């Protein structure tokens, strides 16, 4: 982005006179003073800390201006500020203004699983023929989506934006903020069921992504999910489905999976598509991307090339070389029962000279059903295919209890969430170059610390 401060002041409805600073040029926005680069507009947000307290740090890092909440005292007089009622609302207003100014087509993606991978795949196939901006990392909430919008280059033709939620109403707001031309729901699982109670209510909340859909927009969803099929009847806009059934608009044929890639054909093309990741469940994510490719008339050979070269967001089912020479399958950003079952099934089938070893961290935000859902994972852990299991977190105690009859004490170990150092030591002592290790858990368990300690040093 590149805007003069006077333009930003109008967009956010600044309450103060900025005539002496109106020609200042802003080239980025940032709410974290530690990550700010010169030329930025600083956004002091209220959270565990008050962002206003970090204005001096932002100035030292090169901020050229800042928002300032009207109810905060000690307003600076020697630095350009824009006084607003609410700094977060002002950030969102600025993003809405900039989105309308650049006016790209917008593809919005949500789902209990697969939304980040699908976002990456959609962006990859579209980027073969368009200038594309996509959500960075996990910037998918009421702060991250506006930041994503404001990172767009002026030549952006399509914005691919990921949308997360853990409460009703969040996707309604985000959808109306970006007014997508295409809204995608990858699937309905149990993520955040603590706040919703049932999958039906999760489906209701996910459908909010269609609330801001443009009049000529298209709703793309998993046609094999009855909860979505039923609710799609309430969506008046055009629809397209993907899945594994022949009544879907786009479905997969001749699926072949290895430990590092998946290939498949579709009912619409004789081409064989290849995606550089394991797990047949990722075929549906690729199908969603191919539907978007069809809608935007991406040439099939370009879509094939985009999928084959997709750049995936870090820590999403990623093979990494370990320090002992072993291969580590890292999936440590988030976790829920559906995702764990899928990755365990795929991991257990990967060829290995040594052993399959898994480290599973708690799946968070499952509410009263948490222990039962953790215990139910036992069905996917067989000593014949997965030799050793390390469990981390209070809820994984329930899974440990169900596995004690199958695994010896040497091959089944449990750790509290604050014992990651001991876990890392124990895994490092046992693992060999011939083994494969899976790390899977919710981000709040911080298995990325274990990964960092075990991966090969560069």
Residues annotated within a binding site for ATP: 111-117
**CA nearest to 56, candidates 87, 39, 79:** 79
Packed helices 199-206 and 170-178: angle between N→C axes, nearest 10 degrees: 20
141 and 147 in contact (C-beta within 8 Å)? no
Q: Which alpha helices (DSSP H) does 152-281 contain, by range? A: 170-178, 193-196, 199-206, 226-232
Residue numbers in the known binding site are 111-117
Question: Residues for the chain: how many in total?
Answer: 458
**CA nearest to 83, candidates 193, 135, 9:** 9
> CA-CA distance, 226 to 452, in Å (whole number)?
40
280 contact partners, CB below 8 Å, separation of at least 6: 255, 257, 262, 346
What are the C-alpha distances in Å from 236 to residues 38, 169, 200, 446?
46, 20, 20, 42
> CA-CA distance, 157 to 105, in Å (whole number)?
6
> CA-CA distance, 265 to 42, in Å (whole number)?
48
**CA nearest to 353, candidates 325, 311, 382:** 325
**CA nearest to 382, candidates 364, 361, 355:** 355
356 - beta bridge partners? 436
**CA nearest to 154, candidates 103, 195, 109:** 103
Coil, strand or helix at 353: coil
141 contact partners, CB below 8 Å, separation of at least 6: 164, 165, 170, 174
What are the C-alpha distances in Å from 80 to residues 39, 52, 60, 64, 314?
12, 14, 14, 7, 37
> CA-CA distance, 392 to 319, in Å (whole number)?
21
Give Rg (Cα) of the chain: 24
What are the C-alpha distances in Å from 209 to residues 163, 187, 217, 429?
8, 13, 12, 47
């Amino acid at each position: 982005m590149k805007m003069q401060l006077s333009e930003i002041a109008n967009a956010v409805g600044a309450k103060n006179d900025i005539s002496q600073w109106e020609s200042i040029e802003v080239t980025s926005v940032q709410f974290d003073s530690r990550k700010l680069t010169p030329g930025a507009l600083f956004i002091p947000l209220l959270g565990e800390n008050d962002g206003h307290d970090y204005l001096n740090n932002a100035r030292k890092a090169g901020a050229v201006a800042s928002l300032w909440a009207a109810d905060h005292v000690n307003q600076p007089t020697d630095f350009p500020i824009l006084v607003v009622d609410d700094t977060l609302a002002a950030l969102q207003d600025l993003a809405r203004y900039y989105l309308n100014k650049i006016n790209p087509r917008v593809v919005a993606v949500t789902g209990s699983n697969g939304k980040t991978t699908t976002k990456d795949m959609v962006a990859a196939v579209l980027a073969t023929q368009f200038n594309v901006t996509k959500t960075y990392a996990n910037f998918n909430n009421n702060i991250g989506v506006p930041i994503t919008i404001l990172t767009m280059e002026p030549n952006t033709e399509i914005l691919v934006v990921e949308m997360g939620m853990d409460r009703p109403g969040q996707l309604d707001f985000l959808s109306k903020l970006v007014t997508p031309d295409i809204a995608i729901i990858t699937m309905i699982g149990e993520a955040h069921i603590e706040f919703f109670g049932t999958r039906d209510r999760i489906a209701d909340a996910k459908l909010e992504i269609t609330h801001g859909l443009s009049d000529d927009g298209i709703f793309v969803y998993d046609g094999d999910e009855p909860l979505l099929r039923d609710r799609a009847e309430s969506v008046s806009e055009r629809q397209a489905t993907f899945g594994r059934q022949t009544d879907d608009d786009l479905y997969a044929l001749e699926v072949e999976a290895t430990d590092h890639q998946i290939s498949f054909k579709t009912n619409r093309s004789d081409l064989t598509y290849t995606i550089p990741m394991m797990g047949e469940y990722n075929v549906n994510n690729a199908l969603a991307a191919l539907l978007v490719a069809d809608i935007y008339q991406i040439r099939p050979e370009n879509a094939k090339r985009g999928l084959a070269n997709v750049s995936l967001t870090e820590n999403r089912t990623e093979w990494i070389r370990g320090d002992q020479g072993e291969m580590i399958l890292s999936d440590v950003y988030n976790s829920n029962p559906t995702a764990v079952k899928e990755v365990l099934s795929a991991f257990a089938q990967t060829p290995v000279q040594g052993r399959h070893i898994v480290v599973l961290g708690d799946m968070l935000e499952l509410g009263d059903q948490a222990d039962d859902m953790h215990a139910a994972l036992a069905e996917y852990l067989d000593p014949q295919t997965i030799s050793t299991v390390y469990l981390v977190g209070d809820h994984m105690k329930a899974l440990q209890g169900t596995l004690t009859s199958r695994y010896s004490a040497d091959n089944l170990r449990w750790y509290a969430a604050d014992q990651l150092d001991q876990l890392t030591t124990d895994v490092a002592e046992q693992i060999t170059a011939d083994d494969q290790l899976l790390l899977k858990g919710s981000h709040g368990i911080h298995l990325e610390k274990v990964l960092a300690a075990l991966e090969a040093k560069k």
